[in-house]
């Protein structure tokens, strides 16, 4: 077992796998078995997204029989997809129950996302999140809801109803602040009604590598003399400043009141942690974002890179706030606004999930006719 993965975990950064398929839940499947990753690689949770399920269902024969049976029973295409994906998530949840129980509900979590086409639709997001929560029917599932402006009231409503949520597609500190506020407001509404808050857990998925990809492209075409020195620095600086706000909220009287009632804080989750630039250290979005009460969800190649190449450096977030702010300020001084970048990436992020979802719908529709 990896000393680096062990150290990262013990420092308070939970390791989750950003992938799920039936191939991972059978012996000798095409992908490394999930139970093995739990036992050997310190994996204590799983995240999924529309692109992951599109690839899983389209590329594996393990779904064929169920797909055909559901079609024969009269299910429409979207109902078939819901049945297939929720079955996978429920099975993964069952695999993680020992982790869930050992961590008192903090880890052992498996996420499933609402239809990405609903990212700008508050009421339908809430309705589908309720349906997925009931359909999976496991205490350790998290329902993924996008952190769009329209998603914020949905987050508050779902938390107030007792539904645990993974808030996704966060690119800016400002939006992260709004997400954490929506989470706390939902808990307050629930607590004020005399309802328990101790069984609700949440993570806020703050995307990392895509920030560098976008900003680096702008820097490489920039004429300012400072531009080259800023390459590859924006994403980690941005994430560290989000954690600074997390610490401020964690120590606030507002949060302390909920904590005394048994509430668990919404943890920052570092997402999009596979490097996009092959010139970069493949472990940097893990090793340089280690801090207590965080999650890092990794594609398997990143997990293996950390295991085999990563050098543990301790807490690499706290104590770096001033230098991180300097990076963001330097970018602003040469005309690169992190909030404008975040808005662009949010819109692109939604589209990047809608495209594979539509491809999955087309593939399932074609298969159901055979």
Q: Which residues are catalytic?
A: 144
CA–CA dist 281, 34 (Å, integer): 26
Residue 144 · residue 105 · CB < 8 Å: no
Backbone angles phi, psi at 16, to 5 degrees: -115, 155
What is the CB neighbour count within 10 angstroms for residue 220? 10
Burial letters for 3-29: b for 16+ Cβ neighbours within 10 Å, e otherwise?
ebbebbbebebbbbbbbbbbbbbeeee
> What is the distance, to the nearest Å, from the Cα of residue 60 to the centroid of all Cα atoms in its chain?
24
What token pair was written down for 321?
């706030």
For the purposes of burial, counting CB atoms within 10 Å of the CB of 60, is it exposed (0-12), middle (13-18) or buried (19 or more)?
Answer: middle
For the purposes of burial, counting CB atoms within 10 Å of the CB of 179, is it exposed (0-12), middle (13-18) or buried (19 or more)?
Answer: buried
CA–CA dist 271, 67 (Å, integer): 30
CA–CA dist 78, 146 (Å, integer): 20
DSSP 24: G
Give the chain's end-to-end CA distance (angstroms, integer). Answer: 45
- DSSP-assigned letters across all residues of 72-118: HTT--HHHHHHHHHHHHHHHHHHHTHHHHHHTTTSSSEEEEEPPGGG
Backbone angles phi, psi at 310, to 5 degrees: -70, 140
Q: What are the residue ranges of helices labelled H in 161-289? A: 173-192, 209-220, 234-250, 253-260, 284-287
């Amino acid at each position: 077992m990896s000393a680096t993965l062990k150290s990262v975990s013990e420092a308070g950064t939970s390791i989750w796998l950003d992938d799920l398929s039936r191939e991972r839940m059978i012996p000798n499947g095409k992908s490394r078995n999930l139970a093995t990753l739990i036992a050997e690689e310190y994996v204590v949770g799983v995240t999924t997204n529309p692109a992951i399920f599109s690839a899983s269902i389209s590329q594996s024969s393990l779904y064929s029989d169920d797909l055909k049976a559901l079609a024969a029973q009269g299910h429409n295409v979207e109902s078939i997809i819901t049945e297939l994906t929720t079955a996978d998530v429920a099975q993964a949840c069952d695999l993680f129950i020992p982790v869930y129980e050992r961590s008192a509900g903090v880890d052992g979590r498996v996420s499933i996302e609402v239809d990405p086409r609903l990212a700008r639709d508050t009421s339908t997001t809430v309705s589908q999140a309720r349906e997925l929560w009931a359909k999976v029917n496991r205490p350790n599932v998290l329902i993924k809801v996008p952190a769009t402006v329209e998603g914020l009231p949905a987050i508050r409503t779902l938390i107030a109803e007792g539904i645990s949520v993974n808030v996704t597609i966060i690119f800016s500190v400002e939006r992260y602040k709004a997400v954490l506020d929506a989470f706390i407001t939902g808990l307050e509404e629930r607590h004020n009604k005399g309802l328990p808050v101790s069984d609700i857990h949440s993570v806020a998925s703050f995307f990392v590598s895509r920030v560098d990809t976008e900003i680096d492209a702008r820097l490489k075409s920039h004429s300012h003399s400072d531009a080259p020195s800023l390459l590859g620095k924006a994403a980690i600086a941005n994430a560290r400043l989000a954690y600074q706000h997390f610490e401020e909220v964690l120590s606030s009287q507002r949060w302390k009141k909920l904590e005394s009632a048994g509430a668990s804080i919404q943890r920052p989750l570092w997402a999009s942690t596979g490097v996009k630039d092959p010139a970069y250290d493949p472990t940097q979005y893990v090793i340089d974002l280690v801090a207590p009460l965080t999650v890092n969800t990794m594609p398997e190649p990143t997990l293996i890179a950390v295991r085999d190449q990563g050098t543990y450096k301790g807490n690499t977030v706290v104590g770096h706030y001033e230098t991180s702010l300097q990076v963001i300020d330097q970018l602003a001084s040469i005309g690169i606004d992190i909030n404008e970048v975040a808005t662009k990436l949010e819109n692109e992020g939604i589209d990047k999930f809608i495209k594979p979802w539509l491809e999955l719908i087309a593939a399932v529709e074609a298969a159901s006719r055979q």
